[in-house]
Structure 1
Amino acid sequence: ILVQYLDWLQRAMGGDLGKSYYFRTDVSALIGERLSTTMTLGVCAITFAIVLSVPLGVAAAIRPNSLIDRLALFLSVMGQALPSFWFALMLIVFLSVNLRILPTSGSDTWLHFVMPTIVLGYYAAPAIMRLTRTGMLEVLSTDYIRTARAKGLRPWVVLFKHALRNAIIPVVSLAAVQFGFMLGGSIVVETIFALHGAGFLAWESITRNDLPTVQGLILVFSLFYIVLTFFADLLNAWLDPRIRIS
């Protein structure tokens, strides 16, 4: 088994991931066909999560223990507590079966990505929102923020130019990690909504014992995770001059 694995790893470094037992085609070409759908879903979902969570976290930090803060906490708890498959089914019942405004399956138009984006994005948003709130609370209590306010700078300048830029640094790393989790966690969502992406391919391969395809998908997802983490570190270094790469 060890010799077989080392042989597969050597061929994988050259781009040869083997041949699928079930689909009877090269695993590299098969993953390449499906990966675009998963990447589109992941980008839409992380964008939705950031747009939803960062403003909510900033608003909660500006007015702690207020109604908006309690609402943010409630949404955060609900986002972590709701199983993604249950939330997906409830969206299908409400938006597709009852209201009939969104399609239930497929990936032909952008409408097919709306519900999967909401499910994946809402699951990632609570962690980003909590970290944004915590970071903003810490930054707003620092001396340089008090100095900026004492100099008479406008509130929005203090908030967005000085406070948010420093508070957003750990959020960038978390968003990269969450995006990596989305690529792996898209299996359930893509299966429910019949999106023929890499996640759906993983489910098909696992249920059909297609080992070369499963190995190839795990390798691709792992490489994406490593690359995302690396670029997140580079972006952090750009945002914070105190972070240097030697």
Structure 2
Amino acid sequence: MLGFLLRRLGIALCVAVTVSLISFSLLHLSGDLATAIGGPEASSEQIEQIRVQYGLDKPLATQYVNWLGDVLRLDLGNSFFFQESVYNLIASRLPITLSLGAMALVVALVVAIPLGVLAAVKRDTWIDRLALSIAVLGQAMPSFWFALMLIVLFAVTLHWLPVSGNATWAHFVMPAIALGYYATPAIMRLTRAGMLDVLASDYIRTARAKGLRPGRVLFKHALRNALIPVVAVAAVEFGFMLGGSVVIETVFSLQGIGQLAWDAIARNDFPVVQAVVLLIALIYIVLTLLADLLNAVLDPRIRVR
């Protein structure tokens, strides 16, 4: 297990370094940062002063090393637009996005896993076809349109839930449903496929031949093994939710990092954009690492790979 852990940590570290390089390079590939910071009315002397002030006159390798050193000290610079520390901006917005992502993942798992199990047990019946139709609909439906339909139904027509803001838990219900439905199809289809494979295996037939109760066979023996790939997919989907929360947070006016990223992109606030991209990527890497470790606990055969 220790060797497996060290291998996964090494891979995660290499990916993190690569992501930092890409995150650093993207902004420099977008054009002259000094000109962008100074604006169209800045003179050449002012642009040169900005270039010296922000260290943009140094070689790219030196700039990257300096930037990475600042990041490791949690110094992400200052926002051009908000005139505030980028670290403070992200620290104030991140809990909102994490709460939204966690609630959306719970919604996806609560809906997708029972549907996947039921579709596998009732294979080729109307229940199976209904579950697959829900998955297809979830893949085809734009998340922003689904979010607007939720607003029309639950906020405008029924007056059950607030439209926007993040003051109470009720403000997160519709955003969590809209974002969670985005991940439901992949988890449901994978659960169904895993259950079909497991239910056809020899040890399930042996358990049934021994006279074990159907519920015990289904949940203790079949579902545990079928959920192993679901763990990895759930971690990946959670990362996608955090990165894809820009649209949902914009629709519902949630002041998370998705909304922050949108505002920063619209205003060419490069330090904020760079920090958000790096943060989402690092969260995604950590989630993938945790999913690998949990899979290794659930299935010891993975440790020897």
Q: What is the TM-score when the length of structure 1 is the normalising length?
A: 0.97
The residue number in structure 1 matching 2:301 is 242
Match among 197, 212, 232 for residue 291 of structure 2:
232
Matched, 1:148 2:226: no
- Please report the RMSD computed on the Cα atoms of aligned residues, expressed in angstroms: 1.1
**Distance in 2 separating the partners of 1:147 and 1:97:** 55
Match among 147, 167, 171 for residue 226 of structure 2:
167
**Distance in 1 separating the partners of 2:268 and 2:90:** 16
Match among 95, 100, 104 for residue 36 of structure 1:
95
**Distance in 1 separating the partners of 2:151 and 2:97:** 20
DSSP-derived class of the 1:15 partner: coil
The residue number in structure 1 matching 2:191 is 132
Contact 1:22 1:208 in 2 (8 A): yes
**Distance in 1 separating the partners of 2:142 and 2:65:** 38
Matched, 1:19 2:110: no
Q: Deviations over 1:151-201 (max 9, x none)?
A: 111111110111000000000000000000000000000000000011110
**Distance in 2 separating the partners of 1:243 and 1:151:** 29
The residue number in structure 2 matching 1:83 is 142
Matched, 1:197 2:252: no
Match among 119, 125, 129 for residue 70 of structure 1:
129
Greater Cα radius of gyration, structure 1 or 2: 2
DSSP-derived class of the 1:102 partner: coil
Q: Deviations over 1:19-57 (max 9, x none)?
A: 110111111111010000000000000011000000000
DSSP-derived class of the 2:108 partner: helix
Instruction: Tell me the CA shift for residue 99 of structure 1.
Output: 1.1
**Distance in 2 separating the partners of 1:92 and 1:163:** 39
What amino acid is aligned across from residue 109 of structure 1 in structure 2? T
The residue number in structure 1 matching 2:170 is 111
Instruction: Tell me the CA shift for residue 243 of structure 1.
Output: 2.0
What amino acid is aligned across from residue 112 of structure 1 in structure 2? H
What amino acid is aligned across from residue 277 of structure 2 in structure 1? I
Identity %: 63
Count residues in correspondence: 246
Instruction: Tell me the CA shift for residue 240 of structure 1.
Output: 1.1
The residue number in structure 1 matching 2:39 is none
Match among 183, 187, 208 for residue 267 of structure 2:
208
Instruction: Tell me the CA shift for residue 238 of structure 1.
Output: 1.1
Instruction: Tell me the CA shift for residue 245 of structure 1.
Output: 6.2
Residues 245 and 221 of structure 1, relative CA distance in 2, 3 Å threshold: farther
Match among 52, 71, 77 for residue 111 of structure 2:
52
What amino acid is aligned across from residue 213 of structure 1 in structure 2? V
Contiguous gaps of at least 5 residues in structure 2 = 1-27, 29-59
DSSP-derived class of the 1:25 partner: coil
Contiguous gaps of at least 5 residues in structure 1 = none
DSSP-derived class of the 1:23 partner: coil
**Distance in 2 separating the partners of 1:167 and 1:106:** 38
**Distance in 2 separating the partners of 1:106 and 1:174:** 30
**Distance in 2 separating the partners of 1:201 and 1:139:** 44
Instruction: Tell me the CA shift for residue 88 of structure 1.
Output: 0.7
What amino acid is aligned across from residue 39 of structure 1 in structure 2? L
Contact 1:237 1:245 in 2 (8 A): no
Matched, 1:184 2:260: no
**Distance in 1 separating the partners of 2:102 and 2:155:** 23
